Structure 1
Amino acid sequence: MANDIRVLLVEDELIVGEAIRALLEETDGIVVIDDAGTAEAAVRKARTLKPDVILVDLLLPDKPGIHVIETIMDEDPTARILVLTAFSDDSRVAAAFQAGALGYVLKTQASEELVQAIQTAYRGLSALHPSIATKLVRQLKRPIEAPAEEALLTEPEERVLMGIARGLSNQEIADELGLSLSTVRTHVSKILSKLHLDNRTQAALHALRKGIVDLAQVRVAHVEASTAYQDDDVQ
C-alpha cells in the first residue's frame, strides 16, 4: 500500500530474519521491502531503496552494525534507523545512539514493542524501552573528554530543545509554544549547530546529560508517542 511503512531489515541470521519478516508482514501498515545480511549490502540497499525505517543488527559478518548506522547517517542524515539486537550492555546502547540510531530494540522484547518502535521511528522520534533508557543515562553520566566549546542557547531554543528531548515533533513543538513551524525548524538547526550535534537524537541525549529534562519526562513522551504515528517533518 502507498502509505505503508517501508522497512529494510539488516540481519545476518536467516532464521531470525525470516521470523522478523513474517511478524512484520502480518502487521497492517508495515511492509519489509528487502533484507541484507552484511554491512556492505545494508549500506547499498539503504542508498538505492530509500526505506522509511531501517532495522539493523549490531553483529554482522563483515563490519559492525555501528558502522552501518554511521555510514548511512553520513550519506542521509534524515534516515530513520532502529537497532534490533540481543545485546543491551551500556556501551553498545550509547554507541548506537551516538552514531545516530533513533531507537534500540531487544530481540527479547514483545513483538508489539518492535512494531511500536518502528511506528515511532517512522515519525522521526526516539524509541526507548525504559530499561534501555536507564542504561543510556548511566552511560552518559560517565566522564568523557571535554567537548568542543558550545555556544549558549537562547531561551526559545532551550524550550525547543526540551520539546525534542520529550519526543515531540516539530509541529507538536510549534503548537505547544505558539510558534510557526518554520520558526521551530530554524531553532532546531541553530541548536544542532551551536551544540555541535548531527541530529535530534543527539540533541535529546544532550538535554538528558545537562539535566534540561529528566528520564521520567523522556519515558512518558516516548510511551505516548508509540501509541500513534503519522508522517511528519524531521530535521
Structure 2
Amino acid sequence: MADAVIYVVTCGLDIGSPITAALSGRGARVAWLSDGSEPPVAEIGNGVTRFDAGFGARAELELAFTAARDKLGPPTQVIISALPLAALQPQDIVTLDDEAWRASCSAAMKGVLYALQASFTQMEGRGGSVVVVGPSLSLAGAPRLVALSTAVEGQRGLVKSTARQWGQRGITVNWVAASALALSPRFDGLPLPSKADAVMVALGRPLSLGAEITPVIEFLGSPAGRVMTGATLLLDGGEWMLP
C-alpha cells in the first residue's frame, strides 16, 4: 500500500469519506475527487487530498484528474460512485417526467461514463484497477426507485462492456454491489426491496463500508485481485445471493 495512489471519484451521495479514510489509514495516498453534493459524513484522513470535480462533461472531470495527477501522481486504482441525490427521491414511474429522469438516471450513467473515460486517460499504457460501487438495487430492483435501479444496472452493464475492451490493455474494471444501508443512512426509510419469505441476511447485518467493503475494493487493485475483471461482487452480508 505504501506506493498505492488511489483516486476516489464521487458524484452525489457521499460514500467517499469513509472509503478515503479507510484507504489513507492503510497507507495509500488518496485523491478524493468530489462534486460536493453532500457534506462529508466522516472525517477526512490526513493522507487524503480533496479536489473539486465537475461531472457536467468529460472535460470537466478530466481537469480534476489532471490536478490529482499533478499533485499525487497517476493512479494505480480508481474507485467510482455516481449516485445523484435526485435519484434517491421515491417517485411512482407514471409521475417521473423527463427532467427528473435526466437528473437521476441520466446523470448517474454519464457520471460513471466520464469517470471511466478520465481513468483511461491516466491508465493507458500503464494499466490499473477501476472499481465502480453502487447499491445492490441493480440486482433486486426497488419500488418507487425506478430511476436509481435503472441507473445502477446500466452502470453495471457499462462496467462489463468496458472490462472486455480494456482487459488486454492491462486495465481491470469491476462492479461492487453493496447493501444500500451500508452505503449511506440516506437509504433509511426508502422503499428498499424486501423478500416475500423471511430468509435472514446470512451475516445478520450490512457490511461496514470503511472497515469491510473497502479492503475488498483495495484487493481488486492488488496483483492477485487483478486477475478479476468484469465481475460483480455482491457485498451485502449475504442478503440476496444472486448469481
Pairwise TM-score range, normalised by the shorter structure: 0.3 to 0.5
The answer to which structure has the higher helix fraction is: 1
Structure 1 or 2: more strand by fraction: 2
Q: TM-score normalised to the size of structure 2?
A: 0.43
